[in-house]
Amino acid sequence: MAKPLILVSNDDGITAPGIRMLVEVAMRIGEVVVVAPDSPQSGMGHAITIGNTLRLDKSIAFADLGVEAYECSGTPADCVKLAKYYVLKDRTPDLVVSGINHGSNSSISVLYSGTMSAAIEAAIEGLPAIGFSLCDYGHDADFSHIPDYVEQIIRQALEHKIPSNTTLNVNFPKKSNEPIKGIKVCRQAHAKWQEEFDERLDPNNRRYFWMTGSFVNFDKGEDTDEWALVNNYISVVPCQYDLTAHHAIVRLNEWNF
């Protein structure tokens, strides 16, 4: 029986520790091909490159593992598009996985996340996909407590099939002295980033801003990704790219157009 073909991408760049961990886990399950940004692309959301050239080069990032890899000058969404229509133009991945991101992509962060944009782009292209993130923003983040869970989730996705037009947003708690309690299927918490802008002056006395802020969770539910992560569970949120507010259609039809 042929091994499943797994496409791996991310937004932290092809040399990030998180993607190496994901590649090593994916190799336990199937044949792996990597197409990832050549530099960090965090917070790019679903941006695509339309006004500049795109470069795609063979990479030696995973040569020691014997994995075919390519680095792309574009965004995570660009990487998935190039993988589907160029690198794997004669083959169809059985699964696309993105990450493992250095930092949480729970709640509203899914809209800003380059990690999730790669997974969502795959879903748009009709490919099953999962985005993986760890709630640790450090470049030297400790991933040692999650590989077996990553493998379990990938195997389940391949066996049971992800629903069409859907991608999974998986977030792992930061490593602590307490073992992970398990995996919870959740909804996205109602929360947001409350930005602040630190005004500064550059050496030429020109004003610039540095964005800071804090995360505010308005949601008290115990079925959300934020609740799961705070309570040391892995959160799994099924996401869709159809942003239609279906509940508002009836209200809008009452307007006098």
**Residue ranges at the known binding site for a divalent metal cation:** 11-12, 42, 101
Instruction: For residues 234 and 109, give the distance between their C-alpha atoms in angstroms, rounded to a whole number.
Output: 16
Q: Count CA within 13 A, CB hemisphere, residue 236.
A: 17
Distance of CA 147 to the CA centre of its chain: 16
Nearest to 109 by CA among 222, 182, 213: 213
Instruction: For residues 173 and 2, give the distance between their C-alpha atoms in angstroms, rounded to a whole number.
Output: 34
Residue 185 CA: distances (Å) to CA of 111, 133, 137: 19, 15, 23
Residues 10-22: b if buried by 16+ CB within 10 A, e if exposed:
bbbbbebbbbbbb
Residue ranges for the binding site?
A: 11-12, 42, 101
